[in-house]
Amino acid sequence: MLGFRILPRTRSVSLELAARYIKLPVANVSDCMARMTAGGPALRPLHDGSKMAGPAITVKSRPGDNLMLHKAIEMAVPGDVLVVDAGGDCTNALMGELMISYAMRRGIAGVVINGAVRDYRFIKWNNFPVYAAGVTHRGPYKDGPGEINVPISIGGMVVEPGDLILGDDDGLICVPFHEAESVLEAALQVHAKEQKIMSAIEAGTHNGDWIGDALSRAGYVSAS
């Protein structure tokens, strides 16, 4: 029944592919996806800044209720990222030290909560990736409804089970399963180009000649 579904994940990006992504900045990947997708500025890293990459297990939760999140932790395999759409409501925390410790023990790669968490001191001093919309001491309910491994949307970013989730200090991005290989190759090229620019900046040889060309194409006229 709609609202009470627990589904299997039928496809998933490999952990090997996720390991290649984790070496890249989220910004490089975003640029290769036409800058058209993001997890939203409200979802911020609350941990020590460690990067995150892995296949998504999706959870659609009633705001303030974490019953399906508990079930998803039991279903997850090492390397998975739990992505929870709780409507962005921060009235009640869906996860805290106990659940995070259990997720860590099970080898989960990180959690994304479009809602609130608690036990912030524990989170910020650990390297386990936790992205959330807010922090509150108020605990959750455990009644449902909710769904696991269904398509969800967070800040306009659609996430399907098995898609690649990548996170760093700039935020989150979801790379669709069928696009993961091609986006990776494009992002590697962008990253290599930016590294060359940085080397030129450090060497004092970088110039901004392209700026004049861009202004000319846009129709700007230099004052004499």
**Residue 15 belongs to a domain:** yes
More confident residue, 149 or 208: 149
Determine the pLDDT at residue 222.
72
**Residue 191 belongs to a domain:** no
Structural domain of residue 37, as residue ranges?
4-186
**Residue 164 belongs to a domain:** yes
Q: Is 209 annotated as a binding residue?
A: no
Local confidence band at 224 (pLDDT 50, 70, 90 cut-offs): low
Q: Is 99 annotated as a binding residue?
A: yes
**Residue 87 belongs to a domain:** yes
Determine the pLDDT at residue 11.
97
Cα separation of 47 and 24, whole Å?
A: 19
Cα separation of 123 and 134, whole Å?
A: 12
User: How does pLDDT run across 17-51, given as a tens digit for each residue?
Assistant: 999 999 999 999 999 998 888 877 889 999 998 99
**Residue 223 belongs to a domain:** no
Determine the pLDDT at residue 223.
65
What DSSP string describes the chain? -TT--B--------HHHHHHHTTS-HHHHHHHTTT-----TT-EE-SSS--EEEEEEEEEE-TTB-HHHHHHHHH--TT-EEEEE-TT--SSBS--HHHHHHHHHTT--EEEEEEEE--HHHHHTS-S-EEEEEE-SPPPB----EEESS-EEETTEEE-TT-EEEEETTEEEEE-GGGHHHHHHHHHHHHHHHHHHHHHHHHT----HHHHHHHHHTT-----
**Residue 56 belongs to a domain:** yes
CATH number of residue 9's parent domain: 3.50.30.40
174 pLDDT higher than 90: yes
Q: What is the largest CA-CA distance in the chain?
A: 72
For the chain, the domain total comes to: 1
More confident residue, 2 or 174: 174
Q: Is 2 annotated as a binding residue?
A: no
Cα separation of 224 and 57, whole Å?
A: 60
User: How does pLDDT run across 149-163, given as a tens digit for each residue?
Assistant: 999 999 889 999 999
Cα separation of 156 and 35, whole Å?
A: 13
**Residue 195 belongs to a domain:** no
Q: Is 194 annotated as a binding residue?
A: no
**Bridge-based pairing state of the strands 81-85 and 110-117:** parallel
Cα separation of 112 and 195, whole Å?
A: 29
Decide if 18 contacts 110 (C-beta within 8 A): no
**Residue 158 belongs to a domain:** yes
